Homo-oligomer: A and B are copies of this chain.
Amino acid sequence: MSTLRKDPLSHGWVIYTDEEYQKPEAPARVVNMPAGGCLYCEKNESMTLPEVAAYRQGGLKNGPGWTVRAVPNAHAVLHIEGKTNRRGEGLYDMMNGIGAHEVIVETPDHSALLHLSSVEKIAEILHMLRDRMNDLMRDPRFRYMQIFRNYGDVAGAVHPHPHSQIIALPIVPRWVYEEINHAQEYWKIKERCVFCDILAQDSDGPRMVYENEGFVALTPFASKFPFETWVYPKEHLNSYHLATDESLLVLADAVKSVLTLLATALEDPPYNLIIHSSPAQPEKRYNTPTAKLNDYYHWHIEIIPRATKVAGFEYGTGFYINSVLPEKAAEILRGQLTPPG
């Protein structure tokens, strides 16, 4: 018997079948060097647009010596100059593609793998992502800062050099917006954060994947994809840009651990890693007379292994079919923690 589950955050339903799970066809790791050299490697800094930020152990701006480097994406989908100019066209709405699109080059090492990097190195990358988010939050045109990491060709990575991206958007993405709305509805009834309630219900339960002193990794009750895993801060906090340096070190341990479990269980799967966090300027539209955004929203990381072929009709319905129950996925992931025996 298959089962339907409702995601308390998106309010979408997912069908769980009992088909056999298939591992990804090929591991994600690609270490080949692009023809003409890699624009994100050290000494090739002139191949990128001028950097917007870098952590350096030496050297000059736009030269070698950096450990993490943020540059504008040369193929940016949004551009920084101009006004959004919201306008209509008959019954339709549109605006200019104003925003920012940056690449965070995570390391000079072309063939580094994130999950094999040290906790300190991962914390340094998380630090840069937080700093860039903080900087972009100051621009009043931007409503949402979307941080994401595509790993592997199948997951949409167009460049093999280890990197993350941040897109500053003039609107809040639809699914973040819905998550916020549903968290607000939950608060109205319970006067509690739905994410905190999820942590209370699922910590130490069958969907638990990993826990350290500051973070919990869970497979969601209604995960859309097999082995989808979310990482939540235990302490209620609405936005990633407010995370402290100390907490980023603890987060780095959680991220390294979850990615290592996924890499072991699924043999280096391609994945998308996405941070869901508060929109900018909450006082304008997300604070209500009885609750501030920070009361009811709780930032988190969603890691979606791209291990299954995307099925057909999800695109037209928003209805997902998943062949791996989250309890089974969590059990398999936890099983990688200790050698079998």
Q: Which of A1-26 contact B (CB under 8 A)?
A: 1-6, 8, 10-13, 15-17, 19
Q: Is A61 interfacial (CB-CB < 8 Å)? A: no
Known interface pairs A150-B313, A169-B319, A316-B272; A2-B91 also in contact (CB < 8 Å): no
- Whether B312 contacts A150 by the Cβ 8 Å rule is yes
SS of A interface (majority): mixed
Chain B residue nearest in CB terms to A16:
B97
Most-contacted residue by chain B among A19, A89, A155, A173 (CB, 10 A): A173
Most-contacted residue by chain B among A10, A94, A224, A313 (CB, 10 A): A313
Contact with B along A258-297 (1 / 0, CB 8 A): 0000000000000010101000000000000000000000
Q: Is A47 interfacial (CB-CB < 8 Å)? A: no
- Whether B316 contacts A174 by the Cβ 8 Å rule is no
- Whether B3 contacts A96 by the Cβ 8 Å rule is yes
Q: Is A138 interfacial (CB-CB < 8 Å)? A: no
- Whether A194 contacts B91 by the Cβ 8 Å rule is yes
Contact with B along A75-100 (1 / 0, CB 8 A): 10111001000000111111111000
> Contacts of A315 on B, CB cut-off 8 Å?
224-225, 272, 274, 304
- Whether B194 contacts A15 by the Cβ 8 Å rule is no
- Whether B276 contacts A316 by the Cβ 8 Å rule is yes
Smallest beta-carbon distance A243→chain B, Å: 19
A253 CA / B309 CA spacing, docked (Å): 32
- Whether A171 contacts B304 by the Cβ 8 Å rule is no
Total copies of the chain: 2
A16 CA / B10 CA spacing, docked (Å): 25
Smallest beta-carbon distance A177→chain B, Å: 8
Chain B residue nearest in CB terms to A151:
B312
A330 CA / B74 CA spacing, docked (Å): 29
- Whether A316 contacts B148 by the Cβ 8 Å rule is yes
Q: Is A198 interfacial (CB-CB < 8 Å)? A: yes
- Whether B16 contacts A312 by the Cβ 8 Å rule is no
Name A148's contact: one of B91, B94, B97, B312 (CB within 8 Å).
B312
- Whether B1 contacts A96 by the Cβ 8 Å rule is yes
Chain B residue nearest in CB terms to A310:
B310
> Contacts of A5 on B, CB cut-off 8 Å?
92-94
Most-contacted residue by chain B among A10, A13, A17, A302 (CB, 10 A): A13
Chain B residue nearest in CB terms to A90:
B201
> Contacts of A97 on B, CB cut-off 8 Å?
1-4, 15-17
> Contacts of A160 on B, CB cut-off 8 Å?
none
**Leading 7 A-B pairs by shortest Cβ distance:** A2-B97, A156-B312, A274-B316, A150-B312, A174-B318, A173-B317, A175-B318
